[in-house]
Amino acid sequence: MNDLYNNKKVLWSLLAAFVIVWLYALGIRTLVPPDEGRYAEMAREMFASGDWVTTRLNGIKYFEKPPLQTWMNALSFAAFGLGEWQARLWTGLCGLLGVLLSGYAGSRVFGPRVGFYAALALGSSLFWVASGQIDSLDMGLSGMMTIVLCAVLVAQRDEATPAEQRNWMLLCWAGMALAVLAKGLIGLVLPGGVLVLYSLLSGDFAIWKRLHLGKGLLLFFAIATPWFVLVGLRNPEQPHFFFVHEHWERFFLKTHHREGAWYYFFVLLAPGIMPWLGILPQSLLAAARRRTESRFQPRLLLLIWSVFIFAFFSYSSSKLPGYILPIFPALAMLLGAYLETAPRRSRIIAAALLVVIGIAGIIAVPQMVKIGVRHASETALLVAYQPWVLAAAITAAAGGAVALLHARHLRRDLTVLTMAIAGFAATELILTGFEPYGAMRAGKTAALKMRPEMTPDMPIYSVATYEQSMTFYLRRPVTLVDYWDEFTFGLKQQPELSIPTVAQFVQRWQQHHQDGVKALAIISPEKYAELKQQGLPMRLIVQDTRRVVVANL
């Protein structure tokens, strides 16, 4: 059983089971705000309006990010209808693509066993699996960046033929263009920085001659440029906002209020790379020490890719968890390369650490209710979530114990496979069990209770708040009242799309009431109590811990 990587039946069976579970899990949870609701709603509005150039959120111009994810989600809605799994399909496919490409590139560059281990490592890493099940931009970017990384690895290996080098490098350039359309200039800046550092540290300056720069740049601009030209022509305000505010200021200034300590991503990487944390340091050290006589140094490139991107975002004034997701395929290949020749004690350490973390999780589960509960009435939802987290912790501990047994008996493939299955299963349990709490956060129940009250032209207001997921489930935008936040730029261009103050809303609401025009409003519980005290005519439709929905008639 130490040659699983060469057993075609085992490989295809594992892949089939993995893909089935991965895709099935896309549709079993509500779209949780803010990201999932935002990007699903942007795509729904694009699909409904037929405008594939100007991106909008809640009917308001929204230029914080390029349109690739919105396009793909809108195409998913066009092909399969509106729904949760359709909204997550693009990120789900990008996650699968990353696993398959990492396995393929690892196999072509380092050998089949390394490819097998790399795919297992990435397909079971908590952060990669979780991100692949969530509708957000980070996995879309990471999928395109994985194309870039794997294409350059396969193209630049010493055994590549001229045709392979050309074709894979053109795929690399296409991947960079798609990465730019996924999340902006970092799709070009990050690979460019990695290449500069690699050529300096390896002394391989001839690699610049092997990039097919002429054809590559033509392909890059042919893919990346048209949308930027079209959106700029239709919306002259877009280029400055996108390139200056969303790139320069986001990186260097703290205007987005997303700053974090220098160790921010270290704290996230430790749980994110589970169940492989126990072997990650050795993998990185092995890559740093190893040098070969060959022209191309793939381990060095993977190490630079991981460290440079990690350091780049650690330096940035804007930090969010998903920013370091593109390093995970590189880490997975480094893990796979090390695991192939790792001494038994390293595999024992990795498995034992998984056991320890699983046991720690079992002990810590009873404390989770005390953490992060916004309202006391939400405690029951977290209590219901506890068995799922407990099951995940037990799965991790049991998987680590079985892997430890395999490691002690020198069964390398079974050790790695067991840890991968445990990591993947534990993550899916954590995600699945979150549904009741996630559905409450999303306000899906409230939205579904509103829909029977709605007519196509009915005014619907969102007072001093914006529920990112509810607009998707309502299947229409709402009128914002005294709410700016991420809409500030768009509302400066289209101020008529909102009501600036609650006082103005009250006047309009009372006018609707006098004229017999039915209207609905989504209000925070605090603001509802305030308006109720003022005597505003309101009929309660639905109320939960996070929002109140009322009608004026």
Structure tokens that stand for 229 in this block: 């030209």
- From the number of C-beta atoms within 10 Å of its C-beta (0-12, 13-18, 19+), residue 109 rates as buried
Pair 522, 460: CB distance under 8 Å: yes
How far the first Cα of the chain sits from its last, in Å, is 71
> Cα dist. 77→227, 356, 458 in Å?
21, 44, 25
Which phi and psi (to 5°) does residue 522 adopt?
-105, 125
Q: Which CA distances in Å does 354 have to 271, 387, 402, 419, 511?
A: 11, 19, 11, 8, 63
**What is the reported pLDDT for 259?**
61
Is the pLDDT score of 55 beyond 90? yes
Q: Tens of pLDDT along 90-138?
A: 999 999 999 999 999 999 999 999 999 999 999 999 999 999 999 999 9
User: 502-523 pLDDT, tens per residue?
Assistant: 999 999 999 999 999 999 999 9
Residue 369 has pLDDT above 70, yes or no: no
pTM above 0.85, yes or no: yes
330 within 8 A of 280, measured Cβ to Cβ = no
Model confidence at 289, pLDDT cuts 50, 70, 90, reads confident
CB atoms within 10 A of CB 168: 21
Average per-residue pLDDT in the chain?
92
Kindly indicate the confidence band of residue 371, based on its pLDDT and cuts at 50, 70 and 90: low
Query: What's the longest Cα–Cα distance across the chain?
Result: 84
Residue 469 in this model has a pLDDT that exceeds 60? yes
Position 173 scores a pLDDT of: 98
CB atoms within 10 A of CB 536: 18
pLDDT of residue 181: 97
Asked if 129 and 88 count as a contact pair (C-beta separation under 8 A), the reply is no
Write the pLDDT tens digit of every residue in 190-223.
Answer: 999 999 999 999 998 999 999 999 999 999 999 9
The CB-side HSE value for 86 (13 A sphere, CA atoms) comes to: 18
Residue 278 DSSP label = G
Question: Average of pLDDT values for 480-494?
Answer: 93
Name 393's bridge partners.
none
For range 527-535, the mean pLDDT:
93
What average pLDDT does the segment 294-311 reach?
A: 94
For the cut 60, the answer to whether the pLDDT of residue 1 exceeds it is: no
Amino acid letter at 98?
G
Question: What is the per-residue pLDDT across 401-425, written as a single tens digit (0 to 9) for each?
Answer: 999 999 988 889 999 999 999 999 9
User: Higher-confidence residue: 209 or 259?
Assistant: 209
Q: What is the pLDDT of residue 239?
A: 87
Q: CB of 419 within 8 A of CB of 124?
A: yes
* DSSP assigned state of 120: H
CA distance 329 to 522: 42
Q: What residues contact 118, with CB distance under 8 A and at least 6 apart? A: 102, 103, 105, 106, 329, 332, 333, 335, 336, 337
Q: What is the pLDDT of residue 297?
A: 94
What contacts 305, CB < 8 A, 6 or more positions away?
149, 194, 327, 330
Which range among 156-165, 183-192, 243-252, 391-400 shows the weakest confidence by mean pLDDT?
243-252
Give dist(CA 347, CA 352) in Å, integer. 8
Percent of the chain with pLDDT over 90: 83
Task: Sort strands 498-499 and 60-61 into parallel, antiparallel or unpaired.
Answer: unpaired
Mean pLDDT of 46-60: 96
pLDDT of residue 34: 92
Q: What is the pLDDT of residues 62-76, one digit of tens each?
A: 999 999 999 999 999
The DSSP output letter for 316 is S
Write out the two tokens for 273: 């790379």
Strands 479-481, 498-499: pairing kind: parallel
Least confident range from 21-30, 115-124, 372-381, 385-394: namely 372-381
